Amino acid sequence: MDSVDEWENPITEPPGRVQTGVDPGRLRPSRNDLVRHRLNHQRLLVCSGQTRHTPILVLSRDGVIIDGHHAVRAAAEEGRAVDVLVSDFPITARGDSILDLPPR
């Protein structure tokens, strides 16, 4: 993973807009871990091409995931881009990459 100094926010759209084709590995988590069975379920959905019923939400100015951590991680592991709904909800990053979170 890039150092914090090299990290570039992948979000370019303003709040309220959907940004397509985002590199999920560049999004930052707002939680400390993932639930393994939820991650496995999201991986199955990603691999089958199933569209999410709810959007992945991210904070615009910091590229922080608000909702959709498991889907973002599954997409990152499968090398697939994600579409995100950009928000301005204030939330703090807990890590540099979704790939750094340990599944429990």
* Domain residue ranges in the chain: 25-100
pLDDT at 1: 42
Residues contacting 74, CB < 8 A, separation 6+: 39, 42, 43, 45, 46
Look up tokens 């991210």; give the residue.
Answer: 58
0.85 cut: is pTM over it? yes
pLDDT at 20: 94
pLDDT tens column, 43-99: 999 999 988 888 899 987 789 999 999 999 999 999 999 999 999 988 999 988 999
- Determine contact, residues 34/99, Cβ cutoff 8 Å: no
pLDDT at 55: 87
The amino acid at residue 97 is: S
Closest C-alpha to 52, from 13, 15, 99, 20: 20
pLDDT tens column, 6-27: 788 999 999 999 999 999 999 9
State whether CATH 3.90.1530.10 applies to domain 25-100: yes
pLDDT at 3: 47
